[in-house]
Chains A and B, each alone.
Chain A
Amino acid sequence: MNRQTMDNEAPVNNNGNSFHGLLPAEQHKRILRKRHAAEFRFKMYGIAAVLVSILLLATLLLTIGVNGYSAFQQTYMKLDLTLDANDIPADDLAHANYQGVVKSSLRKMFPDVSGRRELRKLYSLVSSGAAFQLRDKVLDDPGLVGQTISLWVPADDDVDMYMKGHLDESVPADQRRLNPDQVEWINKLRAEDRIEKRFNTTLFTAGDSREPELAGIWGATVGSFYTLVVTLLLSFPIGVAAATYLEEFAPTNRWTDFIEVNINNLAAVPSIVFGLLGLAVFLNFFGLPRSAPLVGGLVLTLMTLPTIIISSRAAIKAVPPSIREAALGIGSSKMQTVLNHVLPLALPGILTGTIIGMAQALGETAPLLMIGMVAFIVDIPGGFTDPSTVLPVQIYLWSDSPERAFLERTSAAIMVLLAFLIAMNAVAILLRKRFERQW
């Protein structure tokens, strides 16, 4: 503190009398106390800032977890299905009226339900996927026709939500997703042990669906996989080649400066602009198919290239010149030096950067919306030009759905996506820890 502030202070002793300038020790103590208080406050601000960010991260993850963990379970119902040979003609097993079989089994369970509206409510307890499940079972084993089998089929998403305790009691009874009658039926089924929650395998094996209980993330996962394969196959060799040239061969002139400025700029261009580029160039100019992993991969390649180039350059730069000089000294050409000595030594660093770039690409959504990967696609993509969607886009699509059941599935999909990302980053960290050398 400078002289001025000390003069302006008017220290007061316990009696309230002014001792201006008379007791410097007392003055100093007061000023010090103030300064230490300020010091303490400043430190607290810092701690608060750190805590706030950690707290926000925790809230984010906790919300996702709390909302999503229940999606890993799905309510199933046990139905006794009478496969009458009259209903299921042996010559056309695939197109028989399985829906009717499911309905009649429900009618048999609740004989006192009558009236079209009531019956429709009863039927709505079972997922529309039940009929398909039954068909597949019969197609697998045609000998079942004529027997009565009991089968666990998925319940409707509203039943599922009720079983998980998400029925909104605040809504008037006649406007609820499940009316009191239906709740009564469910409770009756529950008492008969005909309804239970099981692990939701559908979530991991099915493609998208309009019915939450039949919707899964496998289609999106496969789409993400194909997209990432394209991205990796293109961006890794091109990125490493570019980094090698710029770091090892390029003369320092305006041209290389220009390339460098371009790479740095591209790293900061908003991702959606790459989507515009993809739409205008790959779709409209080259006429590549919409919604295809091939185009998605191309767009993501252009996006991840700067990341890979920058990190590869850092890794190549970290290899000490003595290695290069030794290789050159025993007669290697410049190219041999780079290919046989510098690149292998820089590889862990390059791989770390690549994995981080891939993780970014995996989580990227915006540019993929532009090239049509938001389409509703039920089938599992089988190749690089099949229409498909990717995990983050699936999350975006589901988050828009009004059904309560999609909320938990969105969160579950987010958990899966985050798990992939964490795994990738963990691999990157592991690589760095194990192989990166301090020269």
Chain B
Amino acid sequence: MELNFSIEGGDFTQAGQASSRVKAVLKQLGVNTKCIKSIVIALYEAEVNVVAHAYKGWINIQIDKDKIRIVITDEGPGIPDIGKAMEEGFSTASKKVREMGFGAGMGLPNMKKNTDELNIETVVGESTTVTMVNYF
């Protein structure tokens, strides 16, 4: 089955909408609770990333009987140095975003830790596409 969401940049109240919905769906499918937790954490981080850094974004989710594939695409600044962004504690978040309690530089590392496959494609100044796959 498929789920689609869109995100507005800058609206922190919206972050968590997709992950909450996905959580409810996976629970009803009887997916292992630890597995749900990882997926929800990774997706929430991804949502926050779009809200904190990009102008707008789209989430496409494909759920099969043995895996979930999440693709998050945004229009935004892109990631100039993916290697650096994967380091814990590295963040380009603005002061304003940090004051809101986000931007601790744990986003991408957390996503990596909580997914089975993580792929990031980015064009600096244009967009980023993150693909995450988790097997149940």
Are A and B co-members of a single complex? no
